[in-house]
């Protein structure tokens, strides 16, 4: 574990400001500033910087030594060995540093072998949900899509699932929204859209709505598919309803409103459901198997998107680009405001993901 943090820190912590920020978050300013070589080796690009980073890993994680046997225990009886510390007791800053570094996403990209060892080990109950494999699959899917907010939501679920079920359910609902908006290319900053409608549009867009099941083949298979797709929609919508009724938000904060077991069940169902949506999305994008999906080859890109261009979105229909905005001139950040008419209205879509094509 310390090696994984060390490698990530060496890559991510590239300025003295990064260390200052981490020091404030972990309360380790004295140790970081007092290290004889850490910041100096960073500044001058010295070869020993990596070793100095490794020295600081247990420090910023707040390592607590294992308890020692009580020397005053009854000498006439065999003293029970001290109970070993859990992972989070041994490293109380573990979650803070993990979230700051975005460790799971970094490992997925650079060291998937370490990601598997750290987060897919079912025996390490302190580092995973009850079904750690599901959580790691969601993290891997989010890392592949390079959606930063999705990765942060999953990391917060990891942090809160055991101690704050209301917060975990709230993040699960947000994760559903982020995944659906990403699949549709919707930026999510143009007003709040009804979650059931968003889920329905996404499933129809992917060709997995119960109404889209082909009943011309095996009737047993068709019936099973309808039930499974209906169950998928129920899980996603149910998580949203539970969050609104019992999760965080709407002025609630830290009040214990949700049964712990129900919170774990909700998160445990939402994660594989989101993974499934992303896997279907990737499959459709790569193979263009769904009749209503725009392939990568024919997808509208930022280089061809200008005000007045007529386009077609596979879910929203025909529209006209109103304007295109991008950050620092980077094409992969281009967001187009598109007027889809009276029924749909104006949508802001991230062109990197939006299933858009030029209107023929």
pLDDT per position as a tens digit, 126-150: 334 444 556 667 767 776 666 667 7
Q: Please say if the pLDDT value at position 163 is more than 70.
A: yes
- Count other Cβ atoms within 10 Å, centred on residue 56: 21
Global pTM value? 0.56
CA–CA gap between residue 353 and residue 357 (Å, rounded)? 12
Angle at 180 between CA 287 and CA 195, to 5 degrees: 150
For residues 30-48, average pLDDT: 91
Rounded to whole angstroms, the Cα distance separating 25 from 7 reads 20
pLDDT band at 358 (very low <50, low <70, confident <90, very high): confident
pLDDT in tens, 79-123: 556 666 777 788 888 878 887 887 877 776 777 677 656 654 433
Average pLDDT over residues 153-176: 83
- Location of structure tokens 């009850």: 130
Burial per residue of 168-184, b for 16 or more beta-carbon CB atoms within 10 angstroms, e otherwise: bbbbbbbbbbbbbbbbb
What gap in Å lies between CA 333 and CA 323, rounded to an integer?
A: 14
Most confident residue range from 127-141, 145-159, 281-295: 145-159
- Exposure string of 105-138, with b = 16+ CB inside 10 Å and e = fewer, is bbbbeebeebbeebbbeeeeeebbbeebbbbbbb
Q: Flag the least confident range among 86-90, 195-199, 268-272.
A: 86-90
pLDDT in tens, 299-338: 666 677 788 888 888 778 888 988 888 776 666 677 888 8
Please check the confidence at residue 181 and state whether its pLDDT lies above 90.
no
Q: Which two tokens stand for residue 221?
A: 């298979």
Which of the four pLDDT bands, split at 50, 70 and 90, describes residue 59?
Answer: very high
Q: How many CB atoms lie within 10 A of CB 236?
A: 27
pLDDT at residue 334, as a whole number:
78
SS3 state at 62: coil
CB 212 within 8 A of CB 202: no
């Amino acid at each position: 574990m310390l090696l994984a943090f060390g490698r990530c820190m060496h890559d991510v912590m590239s300025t003295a400001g990064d260390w200052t920020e981490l020091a404030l978050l972990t309360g380790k300013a004295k140790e970081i500033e007092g290290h004889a070589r850490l910041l100096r080796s960073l500044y001058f690009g010295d070869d020993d910087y990596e070793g100095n980073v490794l020295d600081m890993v247990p420090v910023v994680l707040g390592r607590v030594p294992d308890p020692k046997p009580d020397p005053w225990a009854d000498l006439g009886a065999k003293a029970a060995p001290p109970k070993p510390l859990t992972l989070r007791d041994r490293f109380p800053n573990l979650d803070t540093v993990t979230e700051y570094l975005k460790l799971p996403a970094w490992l997925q990209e650079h060291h998937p072998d370490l990601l598997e060892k750290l987060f897919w080990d079912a025996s390490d109950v302190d580092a995973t949900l009850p079904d750690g494999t599901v959580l790691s699959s969601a993290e891997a899917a989010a890392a592949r899509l390079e959606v930063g907010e999705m990765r942060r939501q999953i990391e917060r679920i990891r942090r809160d699932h055991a101690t704050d079920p209301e917060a975990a359910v709230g993040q699960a609902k947000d994760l559903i929204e982020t995944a659906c908006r990403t699949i549709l290319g919707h930026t999510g900053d143009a007003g709040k859209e009804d979650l059931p409608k968003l889920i329905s549009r996404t499933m129809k867009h992917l060709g997995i709505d119960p109404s889209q099941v082909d009943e011309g083949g095996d009737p047993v298979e068709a019936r099973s598919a309808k039930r499974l797709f209906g169950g998928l929609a129920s899980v996603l919508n149910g998580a949203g309803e539970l969050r609104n009724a019992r999760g965080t938000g709407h002025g609630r904060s830290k009040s214990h409103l949700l049964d712990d077991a129900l919170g774990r069940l909700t998160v445990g169902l939402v994660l594989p459901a989101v993974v499934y949506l992303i896997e279907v999305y990737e499959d459709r994008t790569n193979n263009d198997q769904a009749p209503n999906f725009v392939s990568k080859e024919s997808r509208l890109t930022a280089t061809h998107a200008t005000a007045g261009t007529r386009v077609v979105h596979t879910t929203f229909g025909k529209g006209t680009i109103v304007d295109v905005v991008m950050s620092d001139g980077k094409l992969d950040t281009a967001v187009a405001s598109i007027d889809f008419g009276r029924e749909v209205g104006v949508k802001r879509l991230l062109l990197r993901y939006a299933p858009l094509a030029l209107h023929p």
